[in-house]
Amino acid sequence: MKRALILTFVISLVFLSGCSFLDRTTDEQLKANTNDVVLSPGASFIIKPTVLGFGADIKAKISGDQGVKTVTVDSMSIGSSAKLSWEGKQKYETKDSKIAQEEYYDEYGSLPIGEKAPIPPEPIYEEKDINGKFLINNLSTSKDILMPEVWPEETITTDDNGVIFLSTQSFNELIENKKTDLSLGLTGNIFSQMKLYSYQAEEGVDKLKELVTKEEQESSDPPYELTAEDVFDKMKISINGEDLYIKTIVSHNWFGEFVVLNNANYPLVLKMTPNPIAIGEGLDFKSLFGYQITDINY
């Protein structure tokens, strides 16, 4: 019985890990899979939310297609600039549903002890298509990216944010020195460019900046300093419909863990797992969701 339980546990680990330790991809194949990725105009990739590092499939089971974004490359000048278009779906509570919720809690929210309230109304949600564009003018030296969960439904032009790419400078520093700097939009001015930038979002960003300042004062480790692991890793991803392993750089700073495609021309940040303290206390309106790129097509 004990052996059976151990065997079941091991088999479960295999499937949960994507069977990575059974992978027989050679170093040559791994290098080719990675270097063959080309994000020229017309290429696309799919971004799915994750929850505290658990895979995109876990988040999908929780919320279906909510938060999933398809990004299309409109133009790309390697190490210089890019234009990206994205689209997805968003679920929101209807106006009538919000009113019904408010009326219910106004009437029954403070009943005396012992009095039973009726069952509250079920929230009613509708789904809408969302989309936006990024005109990225600095893939050379930018030190910021922007979490997909806060991408605005508008066209944003940025001179100091790689959005979902490491800059050439940052990539080279990670390869050569195992260190660079990376922030989540805090060192540039991308948030101030958003027309739909809400007061709540502004409060969240200000709170996150306060936490960063506190970390700078209390810790010997600079919060922006991104440190790569000593050994390159690999990650399974769907490329042109085929599940393949590609080389990655796994790195960490105070904001969380960042997994970068080890391709100097297209250093996509494939996955980000937030530090719960950094994101949970700061941008709590988007909570603890990270993201993962699951598909690349070119």
Residue 286 has pLDDT above 90, yes or no: no
How far apart CA 240 and CA 74 sit, in angstroms, is 18
Residue 181 has pLDDT above 90, yes or no: yes
Place of tokens 């809690």: 105
User: Strand locations in 137-268, DSSP E?
Assistant: 155-158, 179-181, 225-228, 233-239, 242-253, 256-261
Q: What does DSSP assign to residue 162?
A: -
Write down the pLDDT at residue 205: 67
Write down the pLDDT at residue 18: 45
Write down the pLDDT at residue 293: 97
Alpha-carbon distances, residue 7 vs 10, 14, 17, 73 (angstroms): 5, 11, 15, 45
Q: What is the pLDDT of residues 16-71, one digit of tens each?
A: 444 444 578 899 999 999 999 999 999 999 999 987 544 444 444 444 566 899 99
Q: What does DSSP assign to residue 140?
A: T
pLDDT band (50, 70, 90) for residue 196 = low
Burial of 116 (0-12, 13-18, 19+ CB in 10 A): exposed
Write down the pLDDT at residue 16: 46
Write down the pLDDT at residue 280: 52
* Pair 256, 263: CB distance under 8 Å: no
Q: What is the pLDDT of residues 149-180, one digit of tens each?
A: 889 899 999 999 999 999 999 999 999 999 99
Write down the pLDDT at residue 112: 86
Write down the pLDDT at residue 269: 98
pLDDT band (50, 70, 90) for residue 4 = very low
Between strands 233-239 and 289-297, the pairing is parallel
How far apart CA 149 and CA 255 sit, in angstroms, is 15
The tokens for 220 are 């010997």
Cα dihedral angle (88, 152, 131, 159), rounded to 10 degrees? -120
Domain residue ranges of the chain, discontinuous segments joined by +: 25-91+128-297
Quick one: average pLDDT of 214-231? 86
pLDDT band (50, 70, 90) for residue 114 = confident
Cα dihedral angle (194, 200, 202, 206), rounded to 10 degrees? -160
Instruction: Return the higher-pLDDT residue of 188 and 227.
Output: 227
Task: Give the rounded percent of residues in the chain with a pLDDT score beyond 70.
Answer: 78
Q: What is the pLDDT of residues 240-281, one digit of tens each?
A: 999 999 999 999 998 899 999 999 999 999 999 988 766 555
Write down the pLDDT at residue 217: 75
What is the b/e burial string over 219-258, where b = at least 16 CB atoms within 10 angstroms of the residue's CB? eeeebbebebeeeebbbbbebeeeebbbbbbbbbbbbbbb
End-to-end Cα separation, the chain, in angstroms? 50
Write down the pLDDT at residue 55: 47
Write down the pLDDT at residue 289: 66
The tokens for 79 are 């190490």
How far apart CA 147 and CA 271 sit, in angstroms, is 10
Residue 284 has pLDDT above 70, yes or no: no
Mean residue pLDDT across the chain: 83
Q: How many residues appear in the chain?
A: 298
Residue 132 has pLDDT above 80, yes or no: yes
Quick one: average pLDDT of 135-151? 94
pLDDT band (50, 70, 90) for residue 194 = confident
Name the residue type at position 293. Answer: I
How far apart CA 294 and CA 138 sit, in angstroms, is 25
If you write DSSP's letter for every residue of 49-102 in order, what string do you get?
A: EEETTB-HHHHHHHHTTTT-EEEEEEEEETTTEEEEEEEEEEEEE-HHHHHHHH
The tokens for 196 are 């739909």
